[in-house]
């Protein structure tokens, strides 16, 4: 489990294809602390460390075709910055919200507005019963735990403070780019329960 509080920003240094799989070599400040088989969230996607090079400060993760199709990983190229978070340690402080590292959908960044002290980002995603946001509710964007507002069936906004802007990939995010979304797990369970009782449309998809 993750919390959406980013530990470090890593950089993609190499991409290699093998059949339908794709291997990403990531350079990060904590590569020397990782171990094989460890789960790390990369822009909100939980991926398993399959190789390490402590000298180069890199680790390797593999994405299968399913992951490439349902996230923005297919767009990752060398030089791209990624938001990284290791799993929450038992007894650790819970500063964000419950994040599984399972991407529900991608969204398009519609606009970025500099508000002279903060930045306002607007996003659009395909609507669906489990793809829901609520005013002042939690949303995970590229692994970052945020609060959404101006929420509709397929759009929402988030405000980014300077610290988050500078210490995550948000400082590089531009209108037109796609991001990974994970909707609040509590909302998804409520939608599933209501759908099973026939109170709303199907929560599948």
Residue 101: its pLDDT value, please? 92
* Structural contact between residues 132 and 192, judged by C-beta atoms closer than 8 angstroms: no
Q: Write the class of the CATH domain 8-86.
A: mainly beta
pTM: 0.90
So where are the chain's domains? 8-86, 105-196
Whole-angstrom CA distances from 176 to 104, 122, 123, 139, 145 are: 19, 11, 10, 19, 21
User: Which residues pair with residue 120 across a beta bridge?
Assistant: 113, 159
For the chain, give the number of residues: 205
Strands 45-53 and 138-141: unpaired
Mean pLDDT by 10 residues, the chain (205 residues): 93 97 97 96 97 95 96 96 90 78 95 96 90 90 96 96 96 96 84 72 52
- The whole-angstrom separation of Cα 52 and Cα 32 is 8
Residue 205: its pLDDT value, please? 45
8-state DSSP, 65: H
Tokens coding 171: 């400082």
Q: Could you tell me where the beta strands, DSSP code E, fall in the chain?
A: 8-18, 21-27, 39-42, 45-53, 58-63, 81-86, 105-114, 119-125, 138-141, 144-149, 155-160, 178-183
Q: Which fold has domain 105-196?
A: Elongation Factor Tu (Ef-tu); domain 3 (2.40.30)
Residue 125: its pLDDT value, please? 96
- Would you say the CATH fold of 105-196 matches that of 8-86? yes
């Amino acid at each position: 489990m993750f919390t959406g509080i980013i530990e470090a920003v890593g950089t993609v240094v190499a991409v290699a294809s093998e059949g339908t799989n794709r291997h990403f070599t990531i350079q990060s400040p904590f590569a020397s602390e990782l171990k094989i088989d460890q789960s790390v969230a990369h822009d909100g996607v939980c991926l398993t460390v399959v190789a390490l090079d402590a000298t180069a400060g890199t680790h390797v993760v593999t994405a299968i075709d399913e992951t490439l199709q349902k996230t923005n990983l297919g767009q990752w190229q060398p030089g791209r910055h990624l938001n990284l978070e290791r799993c929450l340690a038992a007894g650790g402080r819970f500063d964000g919200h419950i994040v599984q590292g399972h991407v529900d959908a991608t969204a398009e960044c519609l606009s970025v507005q500099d508000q002279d002290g903060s930045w306002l980002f607007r996003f659009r995603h395909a609507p669906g019963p489990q793809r829901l946001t609520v005013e002042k509710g939690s949303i995970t964007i590229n692994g970052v735990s945020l609060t959404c507002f101006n929420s509709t069936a397929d759009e929402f906004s988030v405000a980014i403070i300077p610290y988050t802007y500078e210490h995550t990939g948000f400082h590089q995010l531009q209108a037109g780019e796609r991001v990974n979304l994970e909707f609040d797990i509590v909302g998804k369970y409520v939608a599933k329960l209501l759908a099973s009782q026939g109170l709303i449309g199907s929560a599948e998809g």
